[in-house]
Amino acid sequence: MSRAFPRSVRLLKPEEFDATFQLGRRERGRFFMAVVHANGLQSARIGFAVGKKHLPAAHDRNLVKRLGREAFRQARERLPSVDIVIAPGREVSRGDRRSLRADLDALFARLQMTL
């Protein structure tokens, strides 16, 4: 499986996000929360709900999404067919790049084991 990030592995429509938030279960890390719901497709898909509440600066929101995409790219082939929405928690502004990435990696590893 390719480690690319094609459109087919992204949640794009509001209905996809809504369904995941309404029907999914939550997994929490130190800096992030993941909402996970089975999708019945061939691979996992991901979306990000990164608002201004916890990260007012655009460059911080972009960093979080960039780190999340990279962590997902590396974990995607080991994940089951689920939709995942990643949202930052209150503590996210206190983390540096290394700790944020470690939290995302741990979150994806936990999802692999529990699903």
How far apart, in whole angstroms, are the C-alpha atoms of residue 65 and residue 81? 21
Looking at residue 4, its pLDDT comes to 73
Laid out side by side, the sheet with 25-28 consists of 25-28, 32-38, 82-88, 45-48
**pLDDT, tens digit, for every residue of 55-86?**
999 999 999 999 999 999 999 999 999 999 99
* 3-state per-residue secondary structure call for 6-65: CHHHECCCHHHHHHHHHHCEEEECCCEEEEEEECCCCCCEEEECCCCCCCCCHHHHHHHH
Question: How is residue 79 written in tokens?
Answer: 């994940």
Nearest CA-CA partner of 82 in 46, 42, 37, 113: 37
67, 104 contact by CB (below 8 A): yes
pLDDT at 71: 96
Domains of the chain: 7-114 (3.30.230.10)
| Short-list 2, 35, 30, CA closest to 106 | 30
Q: Which pLDDT does position 13 carry in this prediction?
A: 95
Residue ranges in the chain modelled with pLDDT below 70:
1-3, 115
